[in-house]
Amino acid sequence: MKIDKADVVILNTLQENARTSLDKLAHLAGLSTASVQRRLRALRDSGVIVRDVSILDPSKLDQHMSFIVMVELERERRDQIDLFVRQTLNEILVQQCYYVTGEADFCLICTAKDMHEFEELTHRLFFENSNVRRFRTSVVMGRKKIGLEVSLENLG
């Protein structure tokens, strides 16, 4: 899909606030509301917009701890990688999962209300999985930047 300047305006605005009205998007992009609706449908259908979400503050919802976990698998066969990914997808405490290069095979971003809840997660994901060779955990001391924005600087 070819992204033009109007699409960049729409996407940047939605990255900042996904609840921006169609009328405001149309005004900012210099388009009609119907044109913005068509563009949004095309951006979603093409997979440029994956989904619209609300970002919650975990500390206000009794999820006071965050963790970065580097996971090394015993075997890196495709079926073993897919199995581990499926397990992480089914764990609500795993916020993000990255398949990475280097010493570890995966980097997980996790949240939990306390160390006990995180320990239970480690049992489910790591200790009960014979293909996990080792994992290393860092406790997050403070959340300084949270976001999934994508730079659109060179588009349009």
Domain range spanning residue 129?
58-139
Question: Is there a single domain that holds both residue 83 and residue 132?
Answer: yes
* Residue 76, pLDDT score: 87
| pLDDT above 90 (res 156) | no
Domain assignment present for residue 74? The answer is: yes
Residue 73 sits in the same domain as residue 21:
no
26 assigned to some structural domain: yes
What pLDDT, on a 0 to 100 scale, did the predictor assign at position 155? Answer: 87
* 3-class DSSP assignment, residue 65: strand
Non-local CB neighbours of 37 within 8 Å, separated by 6+ positions: 22
Partners of 98 in the beta sheet?
107
124 and 83 in one domain? yes
- Cα(75)–Cα(56) distance, integer angstroms: 36
Are 22 and 68 in a shared domain?
no
Q: Which residues contact 86 (CB under 8 A, 6 or more apart)?
A: none
Closest CA to 99 of 79, 111, 85: 85
**What pLDDT was estimated at residue 8?**
96
- Residues 64 and 37 both lie in one domain: no
- Residue 16: the pLDDT is 94
Whether residue 113 sits in one domain with residue 78: yes
Domain-embedded: residue 150: no
For range 86-100, the mean pLDDT:
97
Domain count, the chain: 2
What average pLDDT does the segment 95-115 reach? 97
Q: What is the mean pLDDT of the chain?
A: 95
pLDDT for residue 46: 97
The pLDDT score that the predictor gives to residue 15 is 95
What does the pLDDT look like over 128-151, one tens digit per residue?
999 999 999 999 999 999 888 999
Are residue 28 and residue 91 in the same domain, yes or no?
no
- The reply to whether 93 falls in a domain is yes
Same domain for 31 and 82: no
| Residue 82 shares a structural domain with residue 126 | yes
